[in-house]
A = this chain, B = another copy of it.
Amino acid sequence: MKKLTIPKSVVQEMMKNDFFSQWLGIEVMDVTEGTCKLKMRIKKDMLNGFGIAHGGIAFALADSALAFAANSRNKKSLVLDANISFLAPVKEHDQLYATATEVNITNRTGIYNISVTNQDDKLIAVFKGIVFRKSENWFPDQE
């Protein structure tokens, strides 16, 4: 049986108890050290009073991508601050993709960009997040 990489093991462990990401229907497409790609589909329960996806939905998808990308380096990492710009409306049944890339890491902090696109590859939101990197690991370092 093939052994998972550290990044994949961390995210598998995180997803197990991440009931909100499960409710959102988030699927992990890929994860490597410092990056990750997720997808999800918009359901009726995710709409707001304008009949489009609530801003919290694209944010939550991006925030999960941030958490997975940051923690993938095996250091427990907590989100301190996030910023999102909403560029285009998201409709029911749309498929969303979140792609996280690492801008910069130091011993204690990390900055990540997440782009959110839809099934037509249209950019619907851009997100930047800052994490605090604890000294605690997910798995022993020399596994």
Contact = CB atoms under 8 A, between A and B. Distances in A.
B63 A55 contact: yes
Contacts of A119: none
Interface centre among A13, A17, A48 (most CB of B within 10 A): A48
A104 interface: yes
A87 B60 contact: no
Interface residues of A, number: 49
Contact of A87 (B18, B54, B57, B111): B111
Interface string A50-69: 11011111011101100100
Quickly give the copy total for this chain.
4
Main secondary structure of the interface of A (DSSP, over half): mixed
Contacts of A49: 13-18, 21, 67
A36 to B, nearest CB: 13
A86 to B, nearest CB: 6
B132 A111 contact: no
A123 to B, nearest CB: 7
Interface of A: 13-21, 23, 44-51, 53-57, 59-61, 63-64, 67, 78-87, 103-104, 108-109, 111, 123, 126, 128, 130, 132
10 contacts: A14-B49, A23-B45, A48-B64, A56-B64, A59-B60, A80-B130, A81-B85, A83-B84, A85-B128, A87-B103
